[in-house]
Chains A and B, each alone.
Chain A
Amino acid sequence: MGMTISEKILAEHAGKKEVSAGEIINAKVDLVLANDITAPIAIKEFEKLGVKDVFDKEKIALVPDHFTPQKDIKSAEQCKILKDFAYKYKIKNYFEIGRVGIEHALLPEQGLVLPGDLVIGADSHTCTYGALGAFATGVGSTDAAVAMATGECWFKVPETIKFIYYGKLQPWVSGKDLILYTIGDIGVDGASYMAMEFTGEVIDRMPMSGRFTMCNMAIEAGAKAGIIAPDNITEEYVKVRAKRPYKFYNSDPDAKYVQIKEYDCSKIQPMVACPHLPSNVKPAGELSHIKIDQVVIGSCTNGRLEDLREAAQILKGRKIHPEVRMIIIPATQKIYMDALKEGLIEIFIEAQAVVSPPTCGPCLGGHMGILAKGERAIATTNRNFIGRMGHPESEVYLSSPAVAAASGVLGRIGIPEELGF
């Protein structure tokens, strides 16, 4: 019996010839990550283990990206726990402010996650790295603590749903729209405990940025991982970043899938997820009656250079609606610098948007753009749960950068076509 890409990566890291869905294995990980929210608990649990050292100083990443730049005394104390631990154990991949970016944009950009890797992260959006052909999944702080000590983690080998995307994409439709459409179809627990394998001609043509966006939101369907087989596009991305060898895995033609879903992408319009679940999706064009107070363009889902270019294309020569505030967050310092050099930051400031330093900030209702009671935002982020971006009686709508930018100009949810595109 053939194996899926996920089974192959898990088997390799468990030192087995083959594994199959449902099996519980102990496997060696290539990278363990945690952030300023999850690492403090992981570090506390790590100390309980009584080990002398971490398993590998180069295979741990500590990324203070959520409440940074440190928003108050409490969050500064949390960040200091990471810093002290990093210096005590000489952790190589600790990122101080000024170098730090949003973890799931930063680690691939730095070549710290590569095709064929097995990665766990104490952050649910760790599944983003599946875009590189790695198997990556979110865990809790205690799992991260044990992996920091032993380099191992236990896994239940997941079943896989294969998604095939075919047809020609409509204008302004990107990875974000496809994943929102998919979650709308299968529901927020539609892929619970499973891997979502994204395939088809649309994925074959999709740039890395769109692939990251799609794998990033696999967790929003309850999945353990999102994954895309690596190809030339992946190779182009990693070859300039990798500082160690990597390996491409592919699913066998006779691999076993629990389900196969096919989508004709020529019929998919720009999508928006309405409050309060990522599965509550509607075409953006049907929501023009929804007035907004805030726009957020950024996050581990859509804060990459391609996303900022998409927003800039809409915003160039235009002004944000007077009643709306727009917050744009380049996900890493490199993305910020590239956007600066390309003139995107100038376009944003001319349009009267504010550009924030790299941070998860408003996405989780942390800081740097919180909603008041009754306020409404459209955001390129990943969750629209109750109270996600601020007051429990505020609302978040999720969309692509193009729809978010167009909505910012219109003062209500809208599509680029309404601005003459």
Chain B
Amino acid sequence: MKIRGKIWKFGDNIDTDAIIPARYLNTSDPKELAKHVMEDADKDFPTKVKPGDIIIAGKNFGCGSSREHAPLAIKSAGIQAVVAKSFARIFFRNAFNIGLPIFEVKDLTDEADEGDEIEIDMDSGQIMNLTKGKKYETKPIPSFMQDLIKAGGLIEWTKKRLTMEDIK
């Protein structure tokens, strides 16, 4: 499967407070959260972003809090994927668990401009910057995490496992 979208570009160390400020965490409704996505990194972002867009960023994206509200807000805003030089550990885990596609790529962020269109081949992990005409390889996803994606997230993966145990 391939996904294609317009990119919004962010820098290094985009923390979870920038992705969804704690002042909005008195709710866990994904639609409410999406209204404030990336607000403290770019206050106009929630009004500018369109469903199908893609976020690209520098290193350590999603550092800070464990709040799952961060990938939820991104997903609920209709953002198809996040591509970064690297991800903070808990954000990385949460994204897989809730089914937000994320990819680690070294040079794409530095070589892309905001508004470029990119295409991600979800199976091969190749990313094409269509505007610049340049291809990138993403860091391979560990096989266990591929299983999680195939199952449709951690809840579905666990449900299957629990059913197997019942059968036993």
Tell me the A residues contacting B by CB distance below 8 Å.
Answer: 24, 37-38, 40-41, 44-45, 48-51, 66-67, 71-72, 74-75, 78, 121-124, 126, 138-143, 145-146, 149-150, 154, 156, 188-189, 192-193, 219, 222, 224, 277, 364-366, 383, 385-388, 390, 392
Closest to A360 in B: B22
B41, B59, B93: residue with the most chain A Cβ atoms closer than 10 Å: B93
Q: Which of B18, B67, B142, B158 contacts A385 (CB 8 A)?
A: B18
Contact, CB under 8 Å: A385 / B27:
no
Which chain A residues border B64 with CB–CB below 8 Å?
A: 124, 219, 383, 385
- Chain B residues closer than 8 Å to A37, beta-carbon distance: 22, 25, 28, 67, 69
Residue among B15, B69, B159 with the most chain A CB within 10 A?
B15
Flag if A142 contacts B153 (CB, 8 Å). yes
Pairwise interchain contact B40-A392, C-beta atoms closer than 8 A:
yes
Nearest-neighbour CB distance to chain B for A193, whole angstroms, equals 5
Chain B 126-161, CB-CB to A under 8 Å as 1, else 0, gives 000000000000000010100000000111001100
Evaluate whether A222 and B89 lie within 8 angstroms (CB atoms) in the complex, with A38-B68, A49-B162, A139-B66 already known. yes
Residues of B within 8 A of A277 (CB): 13
Least Cβ–Cβ distance between A367 and chain B, in angstroms: 9
Residues of B within 8 A of A (CB): 13, 15, 17-18, 21-23, 25-28, 39-41, 43, 59-60, 63-69, 72, 86, 88-90, 93-94, 97-98, 142, 144, 153-155, 158-159, 162
Given contacts A124-B64, A277-B13, contact A386 B28 (CB under 8 A): no
Pairwise interchain contact A150-B162, C-beta atoms closer than 8 A = yes
B100 to chain A, nearest CB (A): 11
Interface pair A51/B162, CB less than 8 Å apart: yes
Residue contact A385 to B89, C-beta cutoff 8 Å: no
Pick the residue among B59, B86, B144, B155 that contacts A142 (CB under 8 A). B155
Q: Chain B's nearest CB lies how many Å from the CB of A234? A: 25
Q: Are B67 and A38 in contact (CB under 8 A)?
A: yes
A142:B162 contact, CB within 8 angstroms: no
The answer to whether A141 touches B22 (Cβ under 8 A) is: no
Known: A72-B26, A222-B60, A392-B40. 9 other contacts (CB 8 A): A41-B72, A124-B65, A142-B98, A146-B158, A150-B158, A192-B86, A222-B89, A387-B21, A387-B40
Min Cβ gap A410→B in Å is: 28
